[in-house]
Structures are given as C-alpha cells and as structure tokens.
Structure 1
Amino acid sequence: MQAEFKFQPVSFSWVALHPEPKGVVQFIGGAFFGTFPTIFYRYFLRKLFEEGYTIVALPFRFSFRHWSIAATLFAEQNTLRTELTTLAQRYGYQHKIYQENSKYSWVGHSLGCKYVALLEFLSGDRWQEVVQQCVNAKEAARIERAIAEIVPPEKISIKGQPSLLLAPDISDTESAIPIRAVARWLDKLKLGVLPTREQTQCCVASSSLFNLTALISFQNDTVAGNLGDKDRSEEIQKNSDVLWFFRQLQKRPLPLLCKELPGKHLEPVGVQVGPYVVDLNPLDKFIEPIAQRWLERVAIEFLSELRRREQNLP
C-alpha cells in the first residue's frame, strides 16, 4: 500500500498516518518553529515517515509551567492511542501497533527536549522523592497538584519508549526573556520558568531512567551548545546544555548514542525545494543540498538502534 505523507488534525496534534507503520514517532519542536511543526520541520518529519513511522507532530506550547506541559504530553499520548487505532481501522491500515506501548518513540528539538526529558523523569518510581530533593517542599507540593490536575501521577509512564534529543535546550526564565532584570524579578515572584535549568538538571541526574536516550548536536550551535564547548571557558561549559546532557548520559549503563553534525541550532528546520532543503531562516545558511545533509540519516539510524536496545533490555 502506497504511503501518502499527509497531516490531519487528531486531538490536539497533527498526524501523518502510515498504512504499514513499524512505530510511532511523537515529535515536539522548539519555540516559534515548533508552533507550526508540519510546516517548519516538514522535511525532517517526511523522511521519518518514509522510513515507516506514523508521525505525531505535537504543536509547541509556550508556557512558564513546564511540568504541566510534560504531563499533557502523556495525556495526549493516551488519547491518541485510541484515536489512531480508530482512524487506521477506518482507512484499512494496520492498527494493532497503536495499542503497543513500546512502539512509541519521542523526538524533541531545542526546548521540546526539555518537555520530553521531564516526561521521562516523571515515569520513574521515585520522582516525587527526587523532586523534594531538587526543590523546596512547598514547590514540590505545587508540582504534584499541577500534574494531578492533568493526569494521575502514578499513571504516567513512558518506560520502554526511546527518546532522541536534537540540540536539547533546558531554558530557564533568562533564556525566555532576554532582559535579565525582568527575568530575575519574575523568578523572585515565583512567576518565572519552572523547573529552572538547575532544577531540571538535578531531576535528570537523580533519575535511574534515560537508558534509551540518544543525542544529536550541531557543531556551530550557540543556543544549546555543542561538544566543542568542553575545550572552552568554564562559563561556556556551565551554560552548554548539550555538553551537560552528554556528560550526564554517559553515566548510564548503556553506551550513549551520540553524534555531532555540521550546522547550527535550527538544523532540523526545513522544507524541500527540488534537490535542496530550505531552512526558512535568513540568519542561517538558508539553503542546503540534500546530498550534504546527514541529520535525517543519523536520526533514523539512532531510532532503529534504540529500538533494538529496548527489545534486548531485561
């Protein structure tokens, strides 16, 4: 059956339904570009679809309450599991796969990676205990209440679902609001981004999960950082999210899948025009020959390897 790459709205997401899917890729991009993922990430998502994945593009939601957004990702997955099954049956496509929890994968870009990471953290058995170690007791109670309003906390689990992080950015208020005085004022009033970058790092570092996580970074990324930051000043190293994730995930039991590619922070953004990918960003290279583009090939390779690892886990 011929696969047609076409998005349609399902629940709060955009879905490209594959007639013979080998898995489901749930994608969430970064600020602005991720708001319209079917446009700005079209080439990247189409290549994953052509590899045999049903694509779920979750529109980016801007909010300072990142815990709640992470919980909504899980709630959306639960809804889509039923919706995708029904839709596939209607079209005469294979549908049983949508009821298999292990067939779902996550791909994030930029700030979308933070939401995916928080969701994986919430899948741990000890997450409430860890949160109390990383934030004060009053804030920990607020986090639990906020999550419980969306989904029962004990029900959240994406264990066994691989995650691919593209240029992860775990921004806090100063990243969202460039005026430092305003950002610090909001943080002082407890109105800024939560969790903060430091709290996010604490939670991920204290989690026993993240064993099915891969990382792709870009050599000239000055937003999320790059692996070359290890040879730069202490301040640059401290602010490099890519370098932090690389060092942290290396500590997990399985060898880290990681590759740094040429490009800047917005490398995943782009649409195909003939033999080129146009990234719609005049501040970047703007256009790139497909023959010189490696991101999609590496992403597909990593998703396949993560799936093999998942199948071999005890």
Structure 2
Amino acid sequence: MGNVNLKLRFKPVSHSWVALHPQPKGVIQFIAGAFFGTFGPMLFYRYLLQSLFEQGYTIILLPFNFTFNHYVEAGFLMREQYEILPQLVKMASVAGYDYEAYLDDKNFSWIGHSLGCKYISLLEGFTALPPEPQEREQFIRNLLSKTSDESQIESVIADINILFEELTRKRDEVKNLIYTYVQKNININSVFIKGQVSILLAPAIADTGSAIRPRFLADIIDNLGWGVKPTVKETQTLIYDSGLFNIMGLVCLKSDKIAKPTGEWFTDILQKPPENFRKPLAGKHLRPLGIQLAKYVINLFDKPLVESVQERNQGFEHNVIQLLEELKKNQHNGHRAEEAEGK
C-alpha cells in the first residue's frame, strides 16, 4: 500500500493540521464528523490517514466546528484552504520537498465522513453560484423560496456575497504570495472547489433533530428559526440544481443506519455518482475510524474490534484508495477533453 516507511507527522497550520509528503502527487483535505472531527481526528482516523499519506498525498486535517449554521462553517473551510495553500508551498520549499503538486488546485481532493460530507457538498454546490451578484441573488432565492422567509433569504444572500467577494480577493492574494515564495504561478480554477475530486464516506446530511434530542425540542428550535441551516431539503436542492458532483465517489456501509437516507438520496434521486464510483462496503457508520497497533488495526466502534492490517485494508482502505485513483483518472481525462475542445 505505497511507501510504508513514511511517518505521518502533523504540524499546526492556521486552524488545521498538515502532514507534508516529501514527494506529493496531490493533497487530501479531510473533514470528519461531529464528535470525532472535533476531538482528536488525527487519533481516531489515524489508520485511514496514514494509508492515504503512504499513497503519496499531503494530508490537511480540517477542524470540525460545531454550529447550526453550516453555510458559515463551509465558508470557513474554504477560507482555510486559501490560508493553508501558500504555507504548503513555503513549508515544502524550506524543507526541500517537492511542491509542484500544490501549484494546481485540481491536485487538491476532499474526503469527508458523516456530517463532514455536508460541508464538502455545500462547497461543491457553491461552485454553481453565478459570478454576477444579481444572478447569484436569483439563484439563492430560487433555492430557498419554498423553505425560508424573506429575512432568512436576505441573510443568506448577504453572507454568500461577502464570502464570494472575500474568496475572490483571497485567491488573488494567494497567487501573489506563492509567486513571491517560489517565482511560479499557481492555477486556481474556481474560488470554490470546481474540478476537485471528492469522496463521501458514509455521508449524513442531517437536520436539527440529529443534533438535538428529544425531537420536540428540535422542532421548537426549528420553529424559532434557530435550527440547522441549510436544512436537508435546501442542501439537496442545492446539490440537485448545481448540476455538478461529476467527479465524486460514494462509500456506503451496509449496516449503517445513520447515513442510509443520504446515501439512498444520492443514488436513487440524484442518481450520482455512477455505479463505478460507488463502493458498498461492510460495516457500520464509524467504520472509517481505526488505530494501528503493530500488525493489527483496532476498529474502535465497529466489528471486528481487532483485525489484521491485511484484513482491514481489504475491507476498507484498499477500496477508498482505488476509488480515489479512479476518480483522479476520470478527472484527468475530463481535463484533457476540455483542453481539446478549447483548441
């Protein structure tokens, strides 16, 4: 499974943790679920992250900040990418590592687990936002007209416009900063994540009721307008209307009741991704978590509790890595086709 002699060592960068690969072929930005993404993701997801690192990827471990406003959190993750990007180039240059992979944002991929997948989905959906403010406002109004009142719609429009303008400015700053560091230009295709591969591991696009118990209390919070935004329906509408999600992979776990509704929505309603980019694997919702001890992996919240590295790889990591490579190949072929059409 790649270079097993490489040690996964994280360093704090901005609000995240980064493990630099000495010869990276790309970058994986990982965002975990609510609890385990907040408290020690580098421990709980250690085996998966180590396996991806050994395949030649620099790992960015993004923090999960608990909030009901998922628009704001998705925006934070995008800002974080722009904060980290020039630091990757600078750190690699100082360490004598290769940094060419960091000079094209199509070499950046996203992997999420559970609720972390919602943020990735929002960022991909935001990619469809028109660049012109008036068209963007109409897009948002169409998205929210059936689920939000005018004040809520106006608030989202204002937040998205501020985010769009800020990221556009940050993109230019990043280009200038990287050129200052290494005298080379970086290719950034979109202010959001257009053209970047994503893999959703047991995605759970959840509502207020998933975070607040009992249900009647969640209903009260929603009725007061304080609940999760965007709602499940609004998120699904954004995903559907974007027309994107064409280089996305989906891993569904056969005994996973938490992510089952979201997985079925992707496959049955959205009808994406195509069959060859879906991986139905054994396990429950927390299957991606695992820690290696010698030649064994401890599956912290799944069965079997202990299995050999070989068994664990065959059941999970090999499948995720294979899916990632297939998506990267599809991305490359699509990029070549776009270049041919441009000529």
Please give the TM-score of this superposition, normalised by the length of structure 1. Answer: 0.89
Matched, 1:134 2:143: yes
Distance 1:134 1:288 in 2: 46
Task: Mark the CA change 1:305 to 1:3 in structure 2 (over 3 Å): closer, same or farther.
Answer: same
Equivalent residue in structure 1 for 2:279, among 238, 256, 259: 259
Any gaps of 5 or more consecutive residues in structure 1?
226-239
> Match for 2:268: what amino acid?
R
Matched, 1:199 2:203: no
Any gaps of 5 or more consecutive residues in structure 2?
131-135, 169-190, 339-343
Residue 157 (structure 1) shift: 1.9
Indicate the RMSD between aligned Cα atoms, in angstroms.
2.0
Equivalent residue in structure 2 for 1:277, among 271, 284, 297: 297
Matched, 1:174 2:183: no
Q: Deviations over 1:86-116 (max 9, x none)?
A: 0001100001221211100000000000000
Matched, 1:100 2:97: no
Distance 2:316 2:300 in 1: 17
Aligned to 2:62: 58
Q: Deviations over 1:229-286 (max 9, x none)?
A: xxxxxxxxxxx1111112244357x6650011110000001110122221333x7543
Query: Percent of pairs identical after alignment?
Result: 41
Matched, 1:7 2:10: yes
Deviation larger for 21-30 or 117-126: 117-126
Aligned to 2:183: none
Aligned to 1:301: 322
> Match for 1:23: what amino acid?
G
Distance 1:69 1:184 in 2: 22
Higher Rg of the two aligned structures: 2
Distance 2:281 2:328 in 1: 22
> Match for 1:298: what amino acid?
N
Distance 1:223 1:207 in 2: 25
SS in 1 for 2:34: coil
Distance 1:22 1:141 in 2: 42
Distance 2:114 2:160 in 1: 23
Aligned to 1:286: 305
After TM superposition, the runs of 4+ consecutive aligned structure 1 residues lying more than 6 A away are none
Aligned to 1:189: 224
Aligned to 1:39: 43
Task: Mark the CA change 1:188 to 1:161 in structure 2 (over 3 Å): closer, same or farther.
Answer: same
> Match for 2:27: what amino acid?
V
SS in 2 for 1:190: coil
Task: Mark the CA change 1:149 to 1:287 in structure 2 (over 3 Å): closer, same or farther.
Answer: farther
Distance 2:279 2:60 in 1: 24
Equivalent residue in structure 1 for 2:26, among 1, 23, 48: 23
Please give the TM-score of this superposition, normalised by the length of structure 2. Answer: 0.82
Distance 1:205 1:142 in 2: 22
Distance 1:119 1:248 in 2: 20
Aligned to 2:198: 163
Residue 307 (structure 1) shift: 1.1
Task: Mark the CA change 1:157 to 1:256 in structure 2 (over 3 Å): closer, same or farther.
Answer: farther
Task: Mark the CA change 1:69 to 1:39 in structure 2 (over 3 Å): closer, same or farther.
Answer: same
Residue 139 (structure 1) shift: 2.2
Task: Mark the CA change 1:86 to 1:287 in structure 2 (over 3 Å): closer, same or farther.
Answer: same
Residue 153 (structure 1) shift: 7.0
Equivalent residue in structure 1 for 2:255, among 194, 201, 220: 220
In the comparison of the two structures, how many residue pairs are matched?
Answer: 298
Task: Mark the CA change 1:100 to 1:32 in structure 2 (over 3 Å): closer, same or farther.
Answer: same
